[in-house]
Amino acid sequence: MKKAAAAKSRIGTSAVRSGRLLEILSSFPGRPVAVWGDLILDEYLFGTTRRVSREAPVLILRHAGSEFTLGGAGNALLNLKALGAEPHPVAVVGRDEAGRTVLNILKKNRIPLHGVQVRTGYKTPLKTRILAGEENTRKQQILRLDRESRVPDSAEIRGSMVRELTHAARRCRALLISDYDYLTVQEEIFRRVLPRFKKAGRPVTLDSRFRILRFPGVTAATPNEPEAAEAARSEIGDDARRLLAAGRSLLSRLGAHALLITRGSRGMALFEKNRPPFLIPVHGTTHIVDVTGAGDTVISVFTLSLACGAAFAEAALLANIAGGLAVMKKGTAAVGLDELKKAVSTEP
């Protein structure tokens, strides 16, 4: 039955030549893309294993260093910048140390800050990962601590975001929505600004951790397989029939033109209106180093490709290659334009 289901779908990448993909990539530099979503600060603490504590059965670590990077919408912004685009954030940070660090990272990467509100009473989401190991060995994550809050329900905040998004509908070529459920992205605002992007002919893409069906009418969404299964209320696993049923159901309920489901080591599945599903095998090795932030890389490349006039299948192929590169990097690391071009050039 699985073979029969797969036979009704498009499989492989040979239909699109690498030359066409390189042509799309050549259009990336300077392309303005708005990113509306939750800015998250990722903190990494590195330690060297010393011994087990006498006070409790826990490891004692010698602190060896720390570093910060951006997660959520921030990672999408960094990916777009690395691809040569001009990202424009529409977001909120707290008036706190984490918020200042987020702003400093954006500023360092020459990402404009005029669309980022700084608000008292809101704590910038901070995710601290502790990684440990012996001397001269790869450090493994042993603990993650999340400090979270939600954007206040404020008419002033909503009004500012509507104004920024209205401007973005005129000056940007696409809108990328990165929703990690901290309520930067609000349904009321979405309903007000979506028609403006549609009228301007701008693609609107969605990556929503828990609320994908709350934002109907987007051009495309890019859930991972567990998110798609939860939204479709169906277990998928390695059952091709369930995958196809869940994809078609979500595409219809979302009212989108396309749905790209990322499947980890099983690649991706693209669903489009009135077309057979397109099953794309994973790019590169299935031995993954770190999946952190890979979804942000996928939607960044997918959105930017659509902003450059790519068809959904072309955008999905480029996103799949970029995702394969991202999971071979440690932590939330961006994929650069030259790196992506090289990978496309070596595709069989």
For 301-343, the pLDDT digits (tens) are 999 999 999 999 999 999 999 988 887 666 567 888 999 999 9
- The yes-or-no verdict on residue 5 having pLDDT over 50 is no
The mean-pLDDT minimum among 103-112, 229-238, 269-278 falls in 229-238
For residue range 243-265, list pLDDT tens digits in order: 999 999 999 999 999 999 998 88
* Assigned token pair, 126: 């901070």
DSSP code string of 168-203: HHHH-S-EEEEE-SSSSS-HHHHHHHHHHHHHTT--
pLDDT of res. 332: 60
* Assigned token pair, 9: 């779908």
For residue range 180-229, list pLDDT tens digits in order: 999 999 999 999 999 999 999 999 999 998 999 999 999 999 999 999 99
CB count within 10 Å of CB 122 equals 23
DSSP 214: G
pTM equals 0.89
- Sorted by where each begins, the domain ranges of the chain are 2-40+82-122+151-345
Cα 348 from Cα 182, distance rounded (Å) = 42
Taking residues 51-71, report their average pLDDT.
88
- The yes-or-no verdict on residue 285 having pLDDT over 60 is no
CB-based burial label for 18 (10 Å; 0-12, 13-18, 19+): middle
Q: Among candidates 305, 339, 320, which has minimal Cα distance to 13?
A: 320
pLDDT of res. 334: 81
Catalytic residue ranges: 296
- The yes-or-no verdict on residue 1 having pLDDT over 50 is no
The arrangement of secondary structure in 2-40+82-122+151-345, i.e. its CATH architecture, is: 3-Layer(aba) Sandwich (3.40)
Q: Are 155 and 119 in contact (CB under 8 A)?
A: no
Cα 191 from Cα 170, distance rounded (Å) = 17
pLDDT of res. 292: 62
Amino acid type, 21:
L
Q: Among candidates 19, 3, 33, which has minimal Cα distance to 238?
A: 3
CB count within 10 Å of CB 272 equals 20
Output the CA angle 16-20-24, nearest 5 degrees: 125
User: Is residue 117 classed as helix, strand or coil in its secondary structure?
Assistant: strand
Taking residues 161-169, report their average pLDDT.
97
pLDDT of res. 216: 97
For residue range 109-164, list pLDDT tens digits in order: 999 999 999 999 899 999 999 998 877 777 788 899 999 999 999 999 999 999 99
* Assigned token pair, 56: 């409790």
Spell out the long-range contacts of 247-250 with Cβ–Cβ below 8 A and sequence spacing 24 or more.
247/271, 247/277, 248/277, 250/212, 250/213, 250/221, 250/223
Q: Which helix (H) or strand (E) holds 5?
A: helix 2-7
Q: Among candidates 35, 318, 338, 325, which has minimal Cα distance to 177?
A: 35
**Residue 64: pLDDT band by 50, 70, 90 thresholds?**
confident
Overall size of the chain counted in residues? 348
To the nearest whole percent, how much of the chain has pLDDT over 70?
91
DSSP 224: B
pLDDT of res. 217: 97
* Assigned token pair, 145: 């601590």
DSSP code string of 23-72: HHHTT-TT-EEEEEE-EEEEEEEEEEEEEE-SSSS-EEEEEEEEEEEEEE
* Assigned token pair, 199: 């009228």
| Strand ranges inside the chain, DSSP E | 10-11, 32-37, 39-52, 59-72, 86-94, 116-119, 126-133, 140-147, 175-179, 204-208, 220-221, 258-262, 268-272, 278-280
| Residues forming beta bridges with residue 144, ordered by sequence position | 129
Cα 289 from Cα 332, distance rounded (Å) = 11
pLDDT of res. 330: 63
Cα 74 from Cα 144, distance rounded (Å) = 19
Q: Are 122 and 149 in contact (CB under 8 A)?
A: yes
